Structure 1
Amino acid sequence: MVRRSTVLWLVAALSAALATALPVAHAQAPAARSFDVLQLTLCGDGDEACAGPSRSVDAAIETIHQRRPDVVTLNEVCASDITRMTSETGYGWEFAPAGDATTGAPATCRDGRGDLGVAILSHPDVGAPGEPVEQPFAAQDGSGVQRVLLCVPYSQLSACTAHLSEEGGQVAADQCRELTATATALGAQAVLAGDLSLVAGGDPDVQNCVPEGWYRADDGSVQHVFAMEAFRFEGAEVLPIDGSAHPGLLVQTLR
């Protein structure tokens, strides 16, 4: 007859063996990682003909090397500047030219620097870009410049930018709502940034075009970064950009 003490010993030994062979798995949430957005406006005097000093491009490249943001949104940038910036930083790029409202042709920069428009640069870790969304705004002012929005869906997130009507007011507010609607439609993880020509507390108030479930950071003036709540806000810095009338706006998040 098998003793009861022997049975208990065998059960304990078997339990210990199973515990060694099959350790208990502890589920761990993936660690949050930093995600930074840098907004830059590169014409030093804000002239739509893009007559700003070329040193603003030098400053932009230096800032990208120093801070290595995940996404860079660029306003008032020339096509030749994009070629140089991507060559010297290794970032990917998408570019959308503003339009000439009279001729329908792309707006151009002075000194043979190519088309004038907006762009998004992306760090390689952001992933491969999908088909960009590039379109003129439904609302336009009487300046002769046809404003455009640019959104890029990457494999990990979406990013958008635009330079809204410099006349501000209702046209810029309408453009802002179109921009945020386009960004929201791209998915649950999206950011947008640009010179929105609107300020917090102004009339119209830029805060009125921040969608539900998003937050906003600014440079104290017209440059803003909007992000969905999937991006947890960590901080914002205003960075000097030599040769530009606007500082750089670097917003740091975790996602």
Structure 2
Amino acid sequence: MKLPGLRRSAAMWVAAALTVLAAVAVPVAQAQAPAAKPFDVLQLNLCNSGFADCYSAGKAVNSAIALIQQRQPDVVTLNEICAQDITRMTRETGYLWEFTPVGDKSTGGPYTCKDWRGDYGIAILTHPDLGAAGEPVERQYAAQDGSNEQRVLLCVPYSKVSACTTHLSAADGRIAAEQCRELSGVAAALGAESVIGGDLNLVSGGNPDVQGCVPDGWYRKDDGSVQHVLAMDVFRFENAETIPVDGTDHPGLLVKTTR
């Protein structure tokens, strides 16, 4: 005997069950997708060598420490800073550090800060959550202007992220552009998700244009002047903020992303 009504009921029950299972499966799959995490880069030029007109006898370092404590960025890139400043900043913020001095052409050694405050150079501070650093890449640029200060780059690889910083030639824009391209090549070759922060002494729309040293698959944000943050596009841009920093003639540039 055929029971079409029973067959129709069974078919309807199976269809309803499949619909319920599909509805359950979708939120489970969505729940398993990792949430995007904030990743912030703070670029600072502290003008603390002691030789420039903007020097404020360490006031900029005080401001930088307070800013780091308040905003807790993942990476801080620092220019025009002394070795003693780094010692103090790491002690008061708990951040990890890497530092490399600028070269002194006249002596062949490191450039030194005024008043015996140690070597003068560039640095990267990182939040402890990034973990221990790998072997840093630090070197003088192949292209240099005629000044005594030999410009350098510093890149630090971590397990999943690499960070670089620099302070490029202020005397010759063509040399700064060559240095910027060398830095970008080093950063892009690190084999990890990478960011760059620095005072590039180049501007958007200038001649040469800073955009000429942005690698493919990267983007750039600036403070409206010579400070820039470059990031691989895996770091999804959220917003950029310029922050007054007492004691230096450069604002802080905070670039907020997610990854």
* Residue of 1, 12, 34 corresponding to 2:38: 34
Q: Which residue of 1 aligns with 2:141?
A: 137
Mapped to 1, the partners of 2:70 and 2:248 lie a distance apart of 18
Q: How far is the alpha carbon of 1:168 from its aligned partner?
A: 3.6
Mapped to 2, the partners of 1:125 and 1:70 lie a distance apart of 8
Please tell me whether residue 71 in structure 1 is matched to residue 78 in structure 2.
no
What are the equivalent positions in structure 2 for 1:1-150 lying under 5 Å apart? 26=29, 28-43=32-47, 47=51, 51-150=55-154
Mapped to 2, the partners of 1:115 and 1:45 lie a distance apart of 9
TM-score (norm 1): 0.88
User: Cα deviations across residues 130-159 of structure 1 (Å, max 9, x unaligned)?
Assistant: 000000000000011111100000112000
Mapped to 2, the partners of 1:107 and 1:50 lie a distance apart of 18
The unaligned stretches of length 5 or more in structure 1 are none
* Residue of 174, 192, 208 corresponding to 2:212: 208
Q: Which residue of 2 aligns with 1:156?
A: 160
- One-letter code of the match for 1:174? E
What are the equivalent positions in structure 2 for 1:194-233 lying under 5 Å apart? 194-233=198-237
Mapped to 1, the partners of 2:233 and 2:51 lie a distance apart of 35
Q: Which residue of 1 aligns with 2:245?
A: 241
Mapped to 2, the partners of 1:188 and 1:44 lie a distance apart of 32
TM-score (norm 2): 0.87
Question: In structure 2, the residue corresponding to 1:58 is in which secondary structure?
Answer: helix
In structure 2, relative to structure 1, the CA distance for the partners of 1:152 and 1:49 (3 Å cut) is: farther
Please tell me whether residue 169 in structure 1 is matched to residue 173 in structure 2.
yes
Please tell me whether the aligned partners of residues 43 and 77 of structure 1 are also in contact (alpha carbons under 8 angstroms). Answer: yes
Question: In structure 1, the residue corresponding to 2:87 is in which secondary structure?
Answer: helix
Q: How far is the alpha carbon of 1:47 from its aligned partner?
A: 4.0
Over aligned residues, Cα RMSD in angstroms?
Answer: 2.5
In the alignment of these two chains, the number of paired residues is 244
Please tell me whether the aligned partners of residues 50 and 76 of structure 1 are also in contact (alpha carbons under 8 angstroms). Answer: no
Q: Which residue of 1 aligns with 2:257?
A: 253
What percent of counterpart residues are identical? 64
Please tell me whether the aligned partners of residues 61 and 89 of structure 1 are also in contact (alpha carbons under 8 angstroms). Answer: yes
Q: How far is the alpha carbon of 1:45 from its aligned partner?
A: 8.8
In structure 2, relative to structure 1, the CA distance for the partners of 1:52 and 1:171 (3 Å cut) is: farther
Question: In structure 2, the residue corresponding to 1:83 is in which secondary structure?
Answer: helix
User: Cα deviations across residues 55-110 of structure 1 (Å, max 9, x unaligned)?
Assistant: 10000000001100000000000000000000000000000000101221100001
Q: How far is the alpha carbon of 1:44 from its aligned partner?
A: 6.0
Mapped to 2, the partners of 1:49 and 1:155 lie a distance apart of 40
- One-letter code of the match for 2:43? Q
Mapped to 2, the partners of 1:47 and 1:197 lie a distance apart of 18
Mapped to 1, the partners of 2:229 and 2:56 lie a distance apart of 23
User: Cα deviations across residues 160-194 of structure 1 (Å, max 9, x unaligned)?
Assistant: 00000011411000000000100000124100010
In structure 2, relative to structure 1, the CA distance for the partners of 1:127 and 1:45 (3 Å cut) is: closer
Please tell me whether the aligned partners of residues 122 and 165 of structure 2 are also in contact (alpha carbons under 8 angstroms). Answer: yes
Q: Which residue of 1 aligns with 2:189?
A: 185
Q: Which residue of 1 aligns with 2:3?
A: none
Question: In structure 1, the residue corresponding to 2:29 is in which secondary structure?
Answer: coil
Please tell me whether the aligned partners of residues 54 and 249 of structure 2 are also in contact (alpha carbons under 8 angstroms). Answer: no
